[in-house]
Amino acid sequence: MVTEKKTAAPAASDKTASAKASPSVTDKASLDKASLEKASPNKPAAKSAKASEKGAGKQTPVNTPPKKSLPWFKIILLLLLIAALAASAWFGWMQWQQRTILEDQIQRGLATLDAKVERQQQAMSNAGQGQSREIDQLQKQLYSLRLVTNRQAEQILILGSATRGDWLLAEAAYLVRLANQRLQVERSVDNPLAILETVDNIFVQLNDPELLAVRNALAVDIAALRMTEKVDREGIYLELQAISSALETLAILESHADPEALLAAQPAQAVGSAKQAPSSLAETLERFTEKFGNLIVLQKREQPIEPLLSGAEQTMVRQNLYLLLEQAQSALLREEQSIYSSNLSKAEMLLRRYFQLNSESEATIARLQSLTDQSVSQTVPDISGSQSAIQTALNLRQNSSADEGPEQ
């Protein structure tokens, strides 16, 4: 019975609202139970009834609810749940961030790939345009080659029917062109003259009256070459080289004395060598006085006296002479008359001013004067008349052979 009351108490506490509504019913039930226990002969039952009455008298009021305490394992579970939620949130945030970074990388990769594709497409389009241009150029070259082939085929047909005279005339035309080219390049009349004389011998072998006009033009060109004055550039160049090599042997003046003063300072030769011996003392004294007076000569010098040259200055003078002669050689090869003459004149002035006037230096100065007066510009005649005449004869023969071909 006690257990039933204990179990009924929590139920009453849980249902406080119903207990507040009917408090008299529970009091009646407890009184009935107590009367029943008194009627029973068992003492322990009476004691229990009394105890129950005491307990009923000391029962807690129904209106005050009991205090509830949260167990410790529920707190742990709550903390674990919060930690799991935080971990899942952090993990989800990391996954979202990684996914964002991955999406950015994918976007950049796609943009790079698109740029590469565009560049490749542009390169392919440029390559296609370049190939189309190359194809056009090849087609043009093919067309030009076809034209050349057709012309060569026509020439082969013409050459197939050519005679020995045609071959000799073609050879003469080639030699005349060669002579004209060598005349313009070499600036010499020897080789072109020899070539034109060979061409004249070819016309002698042909002995064709139709080629008299060609031989006339050829004779005019040969005469022009023969009457052209030749310039020996090789000889002048080698002579200037020899003069440059001989400068080492020429002596430079130690002091620049006036040649006239040197001549005047020399003792006069004895005038009496051609005369007879003196016959008297007076004549002897007169001749002695005359010779003694000739020993001392006073002369006024208008030019300033130049100082002696040092070793470095002497080397500089020789180097200037070498440089002037080399420039004259270069002007000779370029046919520059003014530069050539000017350099040789300057070299002559240096020789007269700084070198001793002995036989070697005077011979060198005389040779420089003769070389200065020579002309180094080669005049070249016009020999294109024979070339034009031969080309005209060839064209006439080719036209006549072409006209005769279809008739056959």
Q: Answer whether 233's CB lies under 8 Å from 332's CB.
A: yes
User: Between 105 and 49, whose confidence is greater?
Assistant: 105
In angstroms, the CA 132 to CA 114 distance is 27
pLDDT of 408:
43
**How many other β-carbons are positioned within 10 Å of the β-carbon of residue 58?**
7
- The one-character DSSP state at 376 is -
pLDDT of residue 258: 44
Alpha-carbon dihedral angle through residues 56, 59, 61, 66, given to the nearest 10 degrees: -140
Q: What is the pLDDT of residue 135?
A: 93
Across 9-18, 205-214, 279-288, 303-312, the highest mean pLDDT is recorded for 205-214
Domain 164-229+381-407 CATH assignment equals 1.20.120: yes
Cα(200)–Cα(189) distance, integer angstroms: 16
Q: Band the pLDDT of 86: cuts 50, 70, 90.
A: very high
Residue 323: pLDDT band with limits 50, 70, 90: very high
Q: pTM of the full predicted structure? A: 0.42
Q: From CA 188, how far away is CA 235, in angstroms rounded? A: 14
On whether the CB atoms of residues 385 and 217 are closer than 8 A, the answer is yes
Distance between CA 342 and CA 361 in Å, rounded? 19
Q: Where are the domains of the chain?
A: 2-13+27-54, 164-229+381-407, 231-258+306-377
